[in-house]
Structure formats: structure tokens, C-alpha cells
Structure 1
Amino acid sequence: MAVLVTGGAGYIGSHMVWSLLDAGEEVVVLDRLSTGFRWAVPDAARFYLGDVGDRAMLERIFEENRIDAILHFAGSIVVPQSMTNPLDYYENNTAKTALLADAAIKAGIEHFVFSSTAAVYGDQPDDGPVRENARPAPKNPYGQSKLMSEMMLRDAASAHKFRYVALRYFNVAGADSKGRTGLSTAGATHLIKIACEAALGKRSGVDVYGTDYPTADGTGIRDYIHVSDLVAAHLKALAYLRLGGEPLVANCGYGRGYSVLQVLQSVQRVGGGGFETRYGPRRPGDAAAVIADSTLARRLLGWAPRHDDLDHIVSTALAWENALSLRSMGDLNAIHRRLAANF
């Protein structure tokens, strides 16, 4: 049997593909390459170029492969963008998830792991770790689109032979420790990615949005989780479903947060250099602090994170950013060699 990874050429998806292959799984990837990269998909995975909302493509994949589970990463994730283009997010995140789930049910695929988000919580009334039973209060269409998808999966599981785990990610960062993949999207909005680019001279500096939040230093606080720990949670969720586990919504985070300024200090400390920090007003849709209570994932899935250290997360992100620089130089050198051969 094979596992279908949608969005498997992207940041988290490509890490997932590598982890599945490491675990001996057969892997099929579907990605339209809007933000992902074909080179990020290992040769051992079977690749389909297409959109998760293309029913004919899904039917072809299901016909050509013995799929028993779907890990669904494809979607749009930029909060400010969701505020200005909300309908795009409802289409790409919600409507296409509904279509994928429907196609899976019709094909008899019972196991579905969904990439959700802590953005479903919005601002919580206290600053302690948030549990899954907290009342959802998304502050932006991105979080709302993911919450609606969770609701659809819940209802589908009630009506059909279909089970799912929705993992609510907190702030994912870092890169594969073996240097096989990492966050490569140009113009990415992830804070650690931006700060690493600034530390390596790829950006002129870092913009801090909001210094008047009700936090110790006035900047927003997030629970940063290493991408390798996150994909490990997906492997646990897949095993849980294959053993007959009931539908589950679980947080993926470490249970402690770091402010924007603490993250910037870590990047400067690990990277050994400084960069300009520019301060501006809050962005619409941003919450002051979001920290996970991941008890359910630890207890029901047996998930045990191994990379819970901010400096370690930053060090792997910096190593990948350096690797990207070398990759770009290598590509440029290859172009120069081809040009020289033509003269």
C-alpha cells in the first residue's frame, strides 16, 4: 500500500515524504508546484504534477496506485494574504479539502491526516497553553478556512467509513538535520526563515510588526516546533489510524513560547552576527500569544518530540539557508558551463 502526500514538494510536505521513505513506506506525491519545488521530491517517490482540486487527477492517482492513506498538506498559509484574498483561501483550503475527502471516500481510502493550524484558536482569554477543547475563535480567514475543513472531516467521518486525524500546527521552523530539504520558498513569511536570511545578508533586515502586545517585551509570542518533530507526529497519526484509532484533533507544539525579539536574539546568537531590526504597527489578524498544550498527541499518539530547543531549531534553519546559497551558486555555475559550451 502507498501513502499519498498532497503538497509533498513544499516545506513540510517534502520533510514528510523523506520521513515516510525512511520508514519504508511507498510514497506518492501530488503537487501543483505553486510554492513547492520538483527537486525537493525524492526520486523514490512517485510524482504527479497537478492540483488537489482536480477530481480527474485524483481518480487517476487512485487507479494507478494502491493508496491506503492521505496526508494532506496542500493549501495556502499566509495570514495577511488571507485577509486581502479571503475567497482564495476558502477555495484552496476548504473547498478543495472537501473535494479530496469526497474522492477518498469514493475510492475506499479510510485514513486521512489533515494539516490544520493553531490559527483556529485566535486570541485565548488567558496566556496559558491552549487545549483542543478551547472555543475556536479564528482572527483571520486562514484560520477560519482550516476550522471549516476540520468540521467537514468530522461530519464525513460520522457519515462514512472514514477516519481522520487533524493536527493543529503551531509555528513550524527548522530543517532536515541531514540537509535533504528545508524551507525554500522565496518571500516566505516565517519569522525564523526571514531572520536567517537577514543574518546571511539576503535581506536588509527584519521587520517587527507590533511592539504593544500584552507580553513581556511587547512582541508576539509563538510556540515554535521543529519540522522534524512535526512530521514525526504525522507518522504517529498514520500508525494510530491504521490500528483503528478514532477521529482525533490534536495540537502539535512544545508547550512554551518565544517572543519575536527572543527569536531574533537566538538567530543573532547562533549565527554570530547582527542585522537591522525595524519596528512597525501590528498586522491585521495576528494574535498576541498562542502556545500549545500537546497532551493529547503525546498520550494518544505516543508522540515524543526530540528537538525542543530554540537554538537548535535556528541552527538547522541557518544550515539550510547556507545550503540554499550553495545550491543557487551551483545552478549559476551550471548555467555558465552550458553557455560556455555553446561558444
Structure 2
Amino acid sequence: MILITGGLGFIGTHVTRALLDLGESCVLVQRRPAPEHAGERVVVERADLTDERALLDIGSRHKITGIVHLAGSVPWPPGAYEPLEGAEKSLASLLNVFKAAREWGVARVGLASTIGVYLDVPGDGPFREDLPLSMAAAHPIPGFKKIGELVGDHLARTTGIDVVNYRIGAIWGPGGHTPSPFFGAPQLVHAAARGTEYGPLRVGDGIDLLYARDCGRAIALLQLADGLRHRTYNVASGRLTTNGEVVAAIRKAAPDTSIDLPGSPAAGTWLDVTRLREDTGFEPHYDTARGVADYLAWLRAGNPR
């Protein structure tokens, strides 16, 4: 039984679905009130990760064999907490996850990191996991993800817990937020589905886009792999996808859509996913065209995001 923090969030729902498809049962942890059962082989537990006792008590009700930690380890949104309090909550949540892992004797802890840790690396990519990273961070999300990776590495070496860092690319698709402050695909698809405004975006801007359903499957494969040769994996498509490619896919799926973006040379960041492919056999099932068609159908079926 895999415990997923943030299991009812955007990426968490897709990880849960993928783990269920692979035969696992899941315990989803969230702070807000929720039904006791979210579906077959899924249990929802209410707990604040800063509350050590509440988190540990979950292990008395379920036999937890692994943890996927996706819940926010970042004081977000900005201003939600006084700076010291926000940092304290973020670090306490992370450390409590490791306390639970040790007490329950879980096989593996997965930690969500981000493509943003490469922001200070010169060039556009592809970026490999073994690149040296700056200790600085221009944004709190990559900053706290770097801290999480360092803490996870230390505890893996000192406690023997198997820790895997997921450096997650730009994820888009059902359940995602729009507009994203970091890339344009979600708001472009929403604009096509709803007839709403988009921008400011440029046709040549891009990033390593991975469709949400593929992201969930990649993380599930990393969680369940018999043996992993590395501690850190890029979870991405391994290619640059520009806004222009997204617009072309939208026009193919919805020919009556009129979306025009100003031109610019292609620019963006993408990741090397050799480790992920070699150690799990992962290959994306959704290219840009299939992802756009699936997401448009999802939104036009009445789903809000």
C-alpha cells in the first residue's frame, strides 16, 4: 500500500491512477476534510504533515510499504506565512515523512523536485541529473526543492532509507492549473476550449512538456521498480515543445479555433531522460497532438480544469 502526500492534487491524482492500474492500493493524505474512501483500493486520510503524531497514526491503520511525497514542501503561496514559520512548516513536513518511513519500515520514499533546479545552469539542455547545480535559487520553489534533495540524500545515506528524487518537468493536462506562471500550454488549451483570452505568449517559447497521465505513470514506475541505479531522475519527455507546436495541435483537434501568437526563435529548457528510460522502460504515451486532443475533450466534457 503506497501512501501519497498530495494524492488528491494535480499530479497526485494521476500518480494514484497509475499505481492502481499497476495493481497497488493507495492511502492519500490531505489536510482538508474528505470522504473516508475515494474509490476501490483507495483510502483518504486527513492529516497535516506538520503534525507528526497524526501522520504516524496512519501507519497503525494501514500497512504502508512505500511513500510518494508530492505535497508542498515550499512555503506557498508567497505571503501565506511569516518567512520563518513557512520555512519551519516546509522542513517539518519533510522530516515527518522520513520519521514515518523509518517507523513503518517502508521500502522507498519518492520526493517531488522540479525542472526549476536547472534554472541557473547555462544553456537550454538537455540537462542531465549529474550536472552540478548552483546553491542559489531565484524562486522559492526550486530553492526548497534543492533543500529537499539535499536532506533526502543525507537521510538516505545515514538511515538506509531508499530515497528517489523526481525532477518533474512542465506537467499539463486534466486537473492542472491555468494560467501557469511558468509555461503556456495549459492556458492555450483552456482558451481553445472556453473561448477565453490567453497570453502574453510567444510562438517560439517552449519547455519540456510531459502530459499529466504520462507523469503519473513515470512516478509510479519509479516507485515500484525492483532496483534503481540512481537517486535522482528527470521525469519529463526528453524534448523541447514550443507554444507553436501546441497551437498547431489545437488547430488540428479544433479547426475552428483561432489562436495566433507573435513569432520568436525557439527557446526553452528540456531534460535528458536516459536514466528514466533505462531503469523503468518508461516511454510517453501522449505526444503533443494526443495530449491536446485528450485535454480538450476533458474540458469540453464540463471539467473545470
TM more than 0.5? yes
Q: Which residue of 2 aligns with 1:317?
A: 295
Aligned to 1:147: 146
Is the contact made by 1:17 and 1:41 (CA closer than 8 Å) also made in structure 2?
Answer: no
Deviation of 1:256 (Å): 1.4
> In structure 1, how many angstroms separate the alpha carbons of the residues matched to 2:36 and 2:180?
18
CA positional deviation for 1:246? 5.5
Q: CA deviation at 1:3?
A: 0.8
Rounded Cα–Cα distance in structure 2 between residues aligned with 1:291 and 1:58: 36
Instruction: Verify: 1:229 aligned to 2:214, yes or no.
Output: yes
Q: TM-score, normalised by structure 2?
A: 0.84
The partner residue of 2:115 within 109, 113, 118 is 118
Equivalent residue number for residue 198 of structure 1 = 191
Secondary structure of the structure 1 residue equivalent to 2:126: coil
- What residue identity is the alignment partner of 1:199? A
Residue aligned with 2:199, SS: strand
Give 1:97's aligned amino acid.
L
Q: Out of 101, 104, 121, which is 1:104 matched to?
A: 101
Shift in alpha-carbon separation, 1:258–1:187, aligned structure 2, 3 A: closer
**In 1, Cα distance between the equivalents of 2:285 and 2:233?**
18
Which of 183, 187, 199 is the equivalent residue of 1:207?
199
Q: What secondary structure, in the 3-state scheme, does the structure 2 residue paired with 1:200 have?
A: helix
Structure-2 residue corresponding to 1:305 = 284
- The partner residue of 1:75 within 66, 72, 76 is 72
Query: Which of 170, 175, 179 is the matching residue for 1:183?
Result: 175
Q: In angstroms, what is the RMSD of aligned CA positions? A: 3.3
Partner of 2:274: 295
Which residue pairs with 2:158 in the alignment?
159
How far apart are residue 276 of structure 1 and its match?
6.4
Q: Distance in 1 between matches of 2:192 and 2:243?
A: 15
Q: What residue identity is the alignment partner of 1:45?
A: V
Check the 8 A contact 1:163/1:246 in 2, yes or no. no
Q: Distance in 2 between matches of 1:128 and 1:91?
A: 34
1:161 maps to a residue whose letter is G
Distance 2:91 2:248 in 1: 37
For structure 2, list consecutive stretches of 5 or more residues without a partner in the other structure: none
Residue in structure 1 matched with residue 246 of structure 2 by the alignment: 263
How big is the shift at 1:302?
2.7
The aligned counterpart of 1:253 is 236
2:219 and 2:230 mapped to 1: Cα distance?
14
Structure 1: how far apart are the matches of 2:228 and 2:125?
Answer: 29
Q: Contact (CA 8 Å) 1:208, 1:260: kept in 2 or not?
A: no
Contact 2:207 2:270 in 1 (8 A): yes
Q: How far 1:184 moved relative to its partner?
A: 5.5
User: For the structure 1 residues 149 and 224, does the alpha-carbon distance in structure 2 shift closer, same or farther, using more than 3 Å as the test?
Assistant: same
Match of 2:24 in 1: 25
State the Cα distance separating 1:39 from its structure 2 match.
11
Query: Do the aligned partners of 2:5 and 2:69 also contact (CA within 8 Å) in 1?
Result: yes
Q: Is the CA contact (8 Å cut-off) linking 2:178 and 2:187 kept in structure 1?
A: no
Structure 1 unaligned runs (5+)? 175-181, 212-216, 280-287, 329-343
Residue type at the aligned position of 1:191: G
CA distance in structure 2 between the partners assigned to 1:289 and 1:40 by the alignment: 41
Partner AA of 2:233 in structure 1: A
Offset at 1:38? 6.5
